[in-house]
Amino acid sequence: MGDFWRGLLKGSLGPPDNDSRFLLDVQSRALPGEETMRRYATDDDVDLVVVGAGAGGSVLAQRLARAGWRVVIIEAGPFWHPDADWVSDEAGSHPLYWTQKRIIGGDDPIELGKNNSGRGVGGSMVHYAGYCPRFHPSDLRTASLDGVGADWPIDYSDIRRHYEVLEAELPVAGQNWPWGYPHRYPSSPHPISGAASKLWEGARNLGIEMRVGPVGIVNGTFGNRPHCIYRGYCLQGCKVNAKASPYITHLPDALAHGVEIRADCMATRVELDDAGAAHGVVYHDGHGTEQLQRAKTVAIAGYSIETPRLLLNSASPRHRHGLGNNTDQVGRYVMVQGASQAAGRWSQELRMYKAPPPQVTSEQFYETDTGRGFARGFSIQTVSPLPIGWSEHVLADGHWGRAMREYMRDYNHWSTIGVLNELLPLPDNRITLADETDCHGIPVARMDYTRCDNDKANMEYSTQVITDILHAAGAQDVLTIRRYAHLIGGARMGTAPENSVVDADHRMWGVPNVFIADGSVFPTQGSANPALTIMALASRLAERLAGKRVGQKGVQS
């Protein structure tokens, strides 16, 4: 359909191949179908076993179940029952995060926990902020264009159509987008809060262009999902069902088409047969018993730390250093985005928590500008820390005791803006196995991270830009915090086993039926938040698997 009709019919067009929005219950927040979902025996040789019910795993499972595949998802975390399990409270939301032990190292060790990844049915998007930008075409060509990072083995045209379908499925609301590959969104932009207007005013005074959105948050109604109520608990798991996550956007349809989700089951290794193909996944079930789910195809979607960990823990005589690691690529090039934030104070009450955190954005600084003295760039997004997050801001700026108490009492007068820097993929930033083990006796992951000079220059420059925005908007006081967000890479896609773990079809080099379907396959990370691109890539992979353009065990590829 052309852009003219899409613009005219905005919001009234739903995705034809996903009924999740109608399957949800208007009276309850639970994922419909848990009690009645299809169950498979572990010795059923199902068509696909997916590790991880998050962004990538859920989209892949939903698509392939619709294509008639028999699919089992193994998920380490629980099957959420939001009416009982999710609370509108920062401290009470900790069970949503992956807080199991991980070891950190390097010159810039990354604090892991609530800010990085989730655990449970729906994955990290259950508590993501809802911001759904696309990558720019240049993100997939940074080596050719800017001499840094890596080129992807696919280009923007390979995922563009999937972006459009996913934006309709979530659905995404926002203004027409001028940056990267210019495009429009299926739903109109949300109204913005007074706190965000203040920041926009500062940007405008500096000649920085901003736009509203894009967010995967219902504006209007969408099937049985209601309009956002702007209460601001998006990072605590939206109890309204307005914010998109696979829990409500893909898993209802997946269960309706025969997917089984085996929750509270921790995958511990991928098993190969004598010919070197995978024949299933070993996991510890909810009772701690080891099980093997047999499958013709295995897809790993455990996110950027747990996916490399699972591969490294799947060593075998053919893969002595870990599955797919014969060229020492597994775990390398893991990335985080720089995510400094600056908060400004105004005399009037702004109540920044009264809206979803991401409201207005700029991608004006996204691409390389040689005048800035570093390669690639950053995006700017409004954010809105709740009180515990706010206390971290105050502390980071050096305030403690009585001063901190005053800043906490003053919370309603503040508004916050942040950046996402494209930090570069470096081979020594990597996931390895630590000596420590988890409750299953499985070695935990160690993440080493050190920034290069380009990363440091990018972070310093961008922090100054957001500080300038606050001053240009007349802030009376400014606090800044230097931090990191998101996880990407660790099992990247590429053109050869020497430079990657999987090929352009997400297939592990040398293993015909193991695929990686999460954020760990990204060779670069751009300055965009990753969830929509993870889903779009999983959608593309599903299309190729369903069309038999890449193979199952025993299927010609």
Stretch that binds ligand FAD, among 24-32, 37-45, 303-311, 455-463 (CB under 6 A): 303-311
Compute how many residues bind ligand FAD; rule: CB under 6 A: 43
Name the one range near ligand FAD by CB under 6 A: 14-22, 38-46, 51-59, 366-374.
Answer: 51-59
CB of 191 to ligand FAD, least distance (A): 19
| Partner in contact with 33, chosen from ligand FAD, ligand SF4, none, beta carbon below 5 to 8 Å by kind | none
Question: Alpha-carbon distance 129 to 358, whole Å?
Answer: 7
The answer to the question of residue 119 lying near ligand FAD (CB under 6 A) is yes
Task: Considering only residues 232 through 271, tell me which ones interact with ligand FAD, judged by CB under 6 A.
Answer: 235, 266-267
Minimum Å gap between C-beta 167 and ligand FAD is: 12
Q: Is 117 in the site for ligand FAD (CB under 6 A)?
A: yes
Phi, psi of 34 (to 5 degrees): -60, -45
Interface ranges with ligand SF4 (CB under 6 A): 130, 217, 228-234, 238, 240, 242-243, 356
Residue type, 514: V
Q: Measured from the CB of residue 488, what is the shortest distance to ligand SF4 in angstroms?
A: 24
Tokens, residue 226:
């209601």
Which one, 238 or 479, has the nearer CB to ligand SF4? 238
Q: Which of 260, 448, 455, 518 binds ligand FAD (CB under 6 A)?
A: 518
Residues 6+ positions from 112 with CB-CB distance below 8 Å: 98, 102, 104, 305, 447
| Segment interacting with ligand FAD, rule: CB under 6 A, options 55-63, 78-86, 223-231, 331-339 | 55-63
- Rounded to the nearest whole angstrom, what is the least distance from the CB of residue 216 to ligand FAD in the complex? 8
Q: How far is the CB of 243 from ligand SF4 (least distance, A)?
A: 4
- What mask of x and - would describe binding to ligand FAD in positions 438 to 477, judged by CB under 6 A? ----------------------------------------
Question: Tokens 């790993």 — which residue?
Answer: 300
> In angstroms, what CA-CA distances link 358 with 180, 215, 353, 405, 533?
19, 7, 11, 27, 17
Residue 243, SS3 per DSSP: strand
DSSP 176: P
Q: Residue 460 contacts by C-beta under 8 Å, 6 or more apart in sequence?
A: none
Question: Residue 450: CA atoms inside 13 Å, Cβ hemisphere, count?
Answer: 8
Nearer to ligand SF4, 217 or 383 (CB): 217
Contacts (Cβ under 8 Å, ≥6 apart) of 215: 130, 131, 132, 172, 173, 174, 190, 356, 358
| Per CB under 6 A, 125 contacts ligand FAD | yes
Q: Alpha-carbon distance 51 to 68, whole Å? A: 19
530 near ligand FAD, rule: CB under 6 A: yes
- Separation of alpha carbons 75 and 306, rounded Å: 12
Binding positions for ligand FAD, 126-165, rule CB under 6 A: 127-132
The tokens for 313 are 């823990």
Amino acid at 178: P
Work out how close the CB of 338 gets to ligand FAD at its nearest, in angstroms, rounded to a whole number.
Answer: 15
Q: Which residue is nearest to ligand FAD (CB)?
A: 54
Question: Applying CB under 6 A, which of residues 47, 75, 253, 503 lies at the interface with ligand FAD?
Answer: 75
Is 55 near ligand FAD (CB under 6 A)?
A: yes
DSSP 8-70: HTTTS---TT--HHHHS-TT--S-TTTTT-----TTS-EEEEEE--SHHHHHHHHHHHHTT--
Report, in Å, the least distance between residue 217 CB and ligand FAD.
Answer: 10
Most distant pair of Cα atoms in the chain: their distance: 71
Positions 343 through 372 that interact with ligand FAD (CB under 6 A): 358
Q: How many helices (H) and strands (E) does the chain have?
A: 14, 18
Residue number with CB closer to ligand FAD (127 or 451): 127
Residue 96 Cβ vs ligand SF4, minimum distance, rounded to whole Å = 13
384 binds ligand FAD (CB under 6 A): no
Closest approach of Cβ 2 to ligand FAD, in Å? Answer: 28
Least Å distance between CB 239 and ligand FAD?
Answer: 16
Cis peptide leading into residue 171 (ω within 30°):
yes
Measured from the CB atom, the residue of 248 and 550 that comes closer to ligand SF4 is 248
**Smallest distance from ligand FAD to CB 422, Å:** 14
Which of the choices ligand FAD, ligand SF4, none does residue 206 contact, using the CB cut-off of 5 to 8 A by kind?
none
Q: What is residue 548's three-state secondary structure?
A: coil
Q: Does 124 bind ligand FAD (CB under 6 A)?
A: yes
Q: Please say whether the dihedral angle defined by the alpha carbons of residues 160, 538, 113 and 449, taken in this order, is positive or negative.
A: negative
**Which of 172, 298, 493, 531 is close enough to bind ligand FAD by CB under 6 A?**
531
Cβ neighbourhood burial of 26 (10 Å; 0-12, 13-18, 19+): exposed
Residue (240 or 445) nearer to ligand SF4, CB: 240
Cis peptide before 214 (omega within 30 of 0): yes
Structure tokens at 542: 């599903």
User: With CB under 6 A as the contact rule, which of the stretches 37-45, 70-78, 171-179, 200-208 interacts with ligand FAD?
Assistant: 70-78
Is-contact 509 502, C-beta < 8 A?
A: yes
The residue from 20, 93, 115, 467 that contacts ligand FAD (CB under 6 A) is 115
CB 260 within 8 A of CB 38: yes
**326 alpha carbon, distance to own chain's centre:** 28
Residues that bind ligand FAD (CB under 6 A): 51-57, 74-77, 115-120, 123-125, 127-132, 235, 266-267, 301-303, 306, 310, 358, 486, 518-519, 529-532, 534
